[in-house]
Amino acid sequence: MKNARLAGIGLALLLCTMLVASDDEPDKTLGAFNGRFWQKCNAAVKTGFIVGFNSAMQASTTISKQEVQKYTAGVSFGEMVKGVDQIYQTPENASLPIWVAIRIVVLKANGVPEDKIGETLVTEGIWRPVNH
């Protein structure tokens, strides 16, 4: 069972790599894959993306544990995929990098009110306020 699960994850990561290599620039925002890319992926690739992102964050020696927790704490892989899917259901969010969508999912899961998420992202330096 464990080997089948690992093989499935490996296959998902392989498929994700194949998709990454063939995508056009509209699928990226500032060099990072965005919602347009995400929406082209099937469930296995999305899960592979989330697992890979999480693994990279956990394995990094240059990212603080506190920073890692901002993107991984309290959300299962399945919940993360559903949460990111939900964010990209709004067409205006298609250009958001996936890593930003992941942060938003974690904020929501940790009880940050919807009207405070933007403020939190600005405070963390992820977003900049837009002045008209």
Give per-residue pLDDT as tens, 71-82. 988 899 999 999
Q: Please compute the mean of the pLDDT values over residues 108-117 and round it to a whole number.
A: 94
Average pLDDT of every residue of the chain: 85
Tokens describing residue 6: 């690992």
Q: Please compute the mean of the pLDDT values over residues 100-127 and round it to a whole number.
A: 94
Domain ranges of the chain: 2-123
Q: Please compute the mean of the pLDDT values over residues 108-128 and round it to a whole number.
A: 92
CB atoms within 10 A of CB 102: 23
What is the residue whose two structure tokens read 């250009």?
95
- pLDDT tens for each residue of 42-53: 999 999 999 999
Q: Please compute the mean of the pLDDT values over residues 91-115 and round it to a whole number.
A: 96
DSSP 131: P
* pLDDT of 4 over the 50 cut: no
- C-alpha dihedral (59, 122, 90, 69), degrees to nearest 10: 20
For residue 94, what are the contacts with CB-CB under 8 A and spacing of at least 6? 34, 35, 36, 39, 88
Listed residue (127, 49, 67) closest to 93, CA to CA: 127
In this structure, is the dihedral angle defined by the CA atoms of residues 64, 67, 73 and 79, taken in order, positive or negative?
Answer: negative
